[in-house]
Structure formats: structure tokens, C-alpha cells
Amino acid sequence: MYDGIVQELIDEFGRLPGIGPKSAQRIAFHILQTPSFDVSRLASLLVDIRERVRFCEICGNVSEQERCAICRDPRRDQTLICVVEDAKDVAAIERTREFRGLYHVLGGAISPIGGVGPDDLRIAQLMQRLADGTVTEVILATNPNLEGEATATYLSRLLTTLQIAVTRLASGLPVGGDLEYADEVTLGRAFEGRRAV
Amino acid sequence: MYDGIVQELIDEFGRLPGIGPKSAQRIAFHILQTPSFDVSRLASLLVDIRERVRFCEICGNVSEQERCAICRDPRRDQTLICVVEDAKDVAAIERTREFRGLYHVLGGAISPIGGVGPDDLRIAQLMQRLADGTVTEVILATNPNLEGEATATYLSRLLTTLQIAVTRLASGLPVGGDLEYADEVTLGRAFEGRRAV
């Protein structure tokens, strides 16, 4: 639609997740027409990111060093490990400031349809971390969907062999949500998990 | 939230229009975790785009040459000029394949609140293009909003001094739309502009 490089840039932005053709066009024109936007900075970050970012050798979180900032922090509770699917989930939990233990990033969830089995996840590394007996509780914080539940079930069975408490995040109504609009499964979970007040 | 460069890349993507913090995070992780995504290609396009892209000296459309592909094309009807606010509008009209004339990109619309007056737009250049009498019709295709209408009104008054037909794109119900959900102004316009069948 456009001459050469403008269309190339639009196409390239369109390859990123969540960016459709219209958004890609808007972004390309913004870059073209906004002199204050620092293109060279974005360009150099793109070039550097793959070289500079690695995954923490202990927990699998993103890190610029061999061990991530959380695994390096001695003030974190070394007896607690929260198991998540993805590094993005670590950031989401950190934002709550509710958890002061360590993490373990699986790198996905078991999905027979997606062709992801237990051997494709960082489960062996988790078992190795639990071997020395320091950890007393493993919190399974995989997503509350089919794959996440399957992964949590698989892990909880695997961990029964060890003398470690295994817990799962509570499912229920989202805070600030409207009961009327909750789906049946969530509402059912909220009933199952009801507490005395 | 993240270590160094990951957060920097997320912040940089968050500066682009239409990309919030969550989308920026998703994009940064996609780039980090998708080996097939060609970061160096996107980086080099970003560096090149400002150098290689200029604006057509005649119509103001984006171009890699002094004159854009439309202004260079002798098969386009040289007697018709369609006036638009932005180069993105040229692409939108080209997609319809309904118009075979030339364009004139104003570079915005008159907006007293935004501090944009007639002198900030490419209006003098338009008058210059119309001076030799080749053009017989000017189609005002500014946006059907307050600023676009003000700009169209301003231009139509200015053009009455010349012997040139001045037209405006039709306003009305969008094709495929639902009468029930149309806003009052659009529905009012659709009545005003009704045609015999």
C-alpha cells in the first residue's frame, strides 16, 4: 500500500503479538512523524536484548546475570518456592508484594494438544532444587485453565513422594468483579472454596 | 519490575501509540523468546526509516523519492485533487480503488484547542497547485469530526474565489452498520443526505 520501507516497517510491527495492520500503520507513522521519538534507542535495545538477557540458571526467570535478582537476594524466604508457567507471572506476583519466597519458572504448561509434555518443562530442575530439604512449601501458581490445572495436578502427584507441603492459589471471584457476570466455573469454585467469616 | 534492559525495552514499546504496559511486556517477551523473530531487521528498519522517507514535494504524501508514486503516475487524473488530513488517509482511499485523481495532504486539521491554525497546514501549497487551472474539482476528504469540518468549511470558502468545483465526501450510515446503533448526528446526516431511489 505504501512505498517500500514504510510498508516494510508496518509489516514488521504487524508481526508482533497483539498488533494488527491498523495499529502497525499508526505506530510506523508515529515513528516517522514524531521527531522526539528516539528510534536509535529502540533499535539498539532490540539488538542488545537477545545478547544481554539470559535466563536465571536457578529459577528460569529473565536476568542479565547468571542468577536473577530474586535468587541473589538473601532476604527472600529460602524455604518457599512458587512455581509459575512464565517469567511474566513472576512480575505479576512481585507486583502484589504478597510473596517473599523464591520462584521456579516452568517455561509453559502441560498441553497434549500443544504437544507440550512434562519433559518439555523445567520440572527436573525443580526436583533438584527440592532435593536438599531446605524448601518446606511449594506453591503451585500455574494458570487456572485446563493446561495450568493439568500441570498443577501432575506436579502435586510428583511431590507427594517428598516431605513438602504443596499448595495451590485460591480460585474464586475476582475482587471488584460482579457476581452476575462471573462464569459458572468461577462461581462454582468460589462456592467450593468458601470460608467462614 | 524487571532487571535492566528488559524493563527498558518494555518502557520503550510503551511509548508507542496504542501500546499499554501489558502489551509492551507481551511484545518484549515475544521478542526475547521467539528465535525466529528477526530483531536486527526491525532495528535496521527503524534506523533507516527517518533517513530514507521524505514527504512528496507536491502532495505531501510519504515517499522515498522527491515525488511520490501517485504524483509520478501519468495515468492518474490530473484534473482532480482529493484533500486529506494525513498520509494514512491517502492509503485508506487508495484501498477503495474508487479514486484515480491526485491527493493533497494538509498535515492535520484546523483546531483552535490544539493550537493548529490554517498557516500550520499545507494550504498555501494547495493554492499554488490550483493556480494554473488544470484542476477542475477539489474533493474535501477531511475527517467528519469538528476539526475536519472546520477545515473543510475554511477551504471551501477560500476556494470560492477560483473557478473550481468543490465537493465534500458524503456523510451517512456506515455500510453494514445497524441503524439502531447509529449515533444521532450520523443518523441526522443520513436523513439530510437522503437520495431518491
Reported as a single tens digit per residue, the pLDDT across A143-191 is 988 899 999 999 999 999 888 999 988 888 788 778 788 888 888 887 8
Residue B62 pairs with which residues in a beta bridge? B55
pLDDT of residue B144: 87
How many CB atoms sit inside 10 A of residue A2's CB? 25
Whether residue A28 lies within 8 A of chain B, CB to CB, comes out as yes
Residue A72 corresponds to which cell in the numbers above?
A: 541473589
Rounded mean pLDDT of chain A?
90
Residues of chain B with pLDDT under 70: 1, 3
Assess B151–A contact: CB distance below 8 Å, yes or no: no
pLDDT in tens, A86-128: 998 998 888 888 899 999 999 999 999 989 999 999 999 999 9
Shortest Cα distance, chain B CAs vs residue A126, angstroms: 21
**Any idea which residue has 443526505 for its cell?**
B193
Would you say residue A12 has pLDDT above 80? yes
Q: Other CB atoms closer than 10 Å to residue A44's CB: what's the count? A: 14
Q: Which residue has the cell 462471573?
A: A182
Residue A97 forms contact with B (CB below 8 Å) = no
Instruction: Give the pLDDT score at A184.
Output: 81
- The answer to whether A26 contacts B19, with C-beta atoms less than 8 Å apart, is no
User: Per-residue pLDDT averaged across A31-40, rounded?
Assistant: 86
Please say whether the beta carbons of B64 and B53 come within 8 A: yes
Cα dihedral B128, B132, B133, B134 sign = negative
| Angstrom distance (rounded) from CA B178 to CA B187 | 11
Q: Residues 6 or more apart from B29 whose CB is under 8 A from it?
A: A86, A87, A88
Do B165 and B138 form a contact (C-beta atoms < 8 A)?
A: yes
**Is the CB of B8 less than 8 angstroms away from the CB of A45?**
yes
B45 touches chain A (CB under 8 A): yes
Q: Which residue has the cell 511431590?
A: A159
* Chain A CB contacts of B16 below 8 Å: 27, 30-31
Flag if A26 and B88 touch (Cβ within 8 Å): yes
pTM: predicted TM-score of the whole model, two decimal places: 0.74
CB contact under 8 A, B40 and A23: no
* Interface confidence (ipTM) of the complex: 0.76
Q: Which domains does chain A have, with CATH numbers?
A: 4-52 (1.10.8.420), 76-168 (3.40.1360.10)
Confidence (pLDDT) at B152: 93
CB proximity A88 to B under 8 Å = yes
Contact between A46 and B43 using a beta-carbon 8 Å cutoff: yes
pLDDT in tens, B136-175: 999 999 998 889 999 999 999 999 988 899 998 888 878 8
| Bigger pLDDT: A12 vs B179 | A12
Q: pLDDT class for A1, splitting at 50, 70, 90?
A: low
pLDDT at B125: 96
Nearest Cβ partner of B62 from A2, A46, A95? A2
By the 8 A CB rule, do B32 and A62 touch?
A: yes
Instruction: Say how many residues make up chain B.
Output: 197
List, in sequence order, every residue forming a beta bridge with A82; answer none if it has no partner: A103, A139
pLDDT at A23: 92
A114-149 CB burial, b ≥16 within 10 A, e <16: eebeeeebbbebbeebbeeeebeebbbbbbbeebbb
* Residue B9 Cα, gap to closest chain A Cα (Å): 6
* Residue A137, beta-bridge partner list: A80, A165
Q: Do B32 and A44 touch (CB under 8 A)?
A: no
Percent of all residues in chain A with a pLDDT value above 70, rounded to a whole number: 98
Gap between the Cα atoms of B179 and B174, Å rounded: 9
Nearest chain A Cα distance for residue B55, angstroms:
10
CA of A29 to nearest chain B CA: how many angstroms apart?
Answer: 8
Alpha-helical segments (H) within B34-145: 39-52, 69-72, 87-96, 123-130
Q: Is A27 on the interface with B (CB under 8 A)?
A: yes
Q: Is A30 on the interface with B (CB under 8 A)?
A: yes
Quick one: pLDDT at residue B187?
81
B18 interfaces chain A, CB cutoff of 8 Å: yes
Q: Which three cell numbers stand for residue B77?
A: 487524473
A69: nearest CB among B3, B13, B41 = B3
Average pLDDT of A23-31? 92
